[in-house]
A and B are shown apart, each in its own frame.
Chain A
């Protein structure tokens, strides 16, 4: 089935404009990661997810639908579909991930909250007002829609008096820290990745993990935001031996993820090439972006196991027996 780029971009932009996300997901599922954490709403500092990890199981189901439909996951809905989607959220009918699929991605922001608490950082959450940043729409060049959305996101920060956002993934970090200041006059939010926060404060886990991991830098962290040393510094403290692939650090290779919404076959081919590089140096890989994680794991299949960096960082603290205590904010 031929790809209609114009309608695919149109549906994604319409969703952001009308529903505040490229792929709207139920609010209850977007905030499930906060369960048991007893977080306050708002405050001067918040942990901000931009829904990136929570979106992944939905995107994956859309991609699975695409494989049945043709070359793009929206191929069967283009043209007529875009017109329908303006009044009825058709993308919501295409993805219903189960608890197991969602829990993997809910775990990551929960991990990060525990790690920040352990480091003595006080923060709240914006819960259902923790909105998608608009990263994909920025990449696709739909600047007018993005600008209006960025203003909505910033108004939520202002409403709760937020001065600092601690981000998790590279795309939300880049949007809030580097892109939004170019769109919003007077924008003054301080934005740091949790990896930078933990590296600055001192992480120092008590338990040593063993083994080798191939590190996969996110393009956005490494080349857009200069986040290269913090993840290495933290991983070294876990005791893991970091193996660097041929393309690494500021010369990292892309996972292919940015091409997935329009050219999934291109994305898959790039992911396979990247997995080959990573597999050449270690049997396990570590990622720091949900898109990298899902693309690389999918390409690797059973030949290589990937973990999000927060999983390793928390595993190295588990011997401390603090997880339950930290979760309760004590």
Chain B
């Protein structure tokens, strides 16, 4: 059974531009993706919005393999900020999972 964290989306959101919930799951992004990514963006965005944190963490490689080429975004009929949303997900991994944001919590900042 999936564990849901209703606050997870707030920890991923960098600012008001994060709009994963605007996705209407039409599939155009998947159709045009040059890498043919299966889970990003639609499925992983849905996990974020639903608070399925463990599912997002399981797809780390997918989140970091996106080319950010924006071909999906310019074709998205719902105006989802796909590349910025993916960057927000990477920021989440960097700060909360990898602990590498150069801030007080990052050991590297104390060197």
Contact = CB atoms under 8 A, between A and B. Distances in A.
A219 B71 contact: yes
Main secondary structure of the interface of B (DSSP, over half): helix
A138 B91 CA distance: 9
Nearest to B101: A144
Interface string A6-37: 10011001100110000000000000000000
Contact of A17 (B61, B69, B74, B102): B102
B111 interface: yes
A292 B29 CA distance: 23
A181 interface: no
A9 B102 contact: no
A219 B109 CA distance: 34
B90 A141 contact: yes
A141 B69 CA distance: 15
A140 B90 contact: yes
A284 interface: no
Nearest to A254: B69
A262 B64 contact: yes
A9 B94 contact: yes
A70 to B, nearest CB: 15
B67 A256 contact: yes
A266 B35 contact: yes
Interface size on A, as a range, is: 35 or more
A145 B102 CA distance: 6
Interface string B65-83: 1011111011000000000
A10 B103 contact: no
B50 to A, nearest CB: 21
B101 A145 contact: yes
Given A5-B61, A253-B34, A141 B89 contact: yes
A254 B102 contact: no
B108 to A, nearest CB: 5
Given A142-B102, A143-B91, A266-B35, A5 B64 contact: yes
Given A142-B101, A256-B67, A258-B67, 9 more contacts: A10-B100, A13-B108, A141-B90, A142-B94, A144-B101, A250-B74, A254-B71, A266-B65, A270-B67
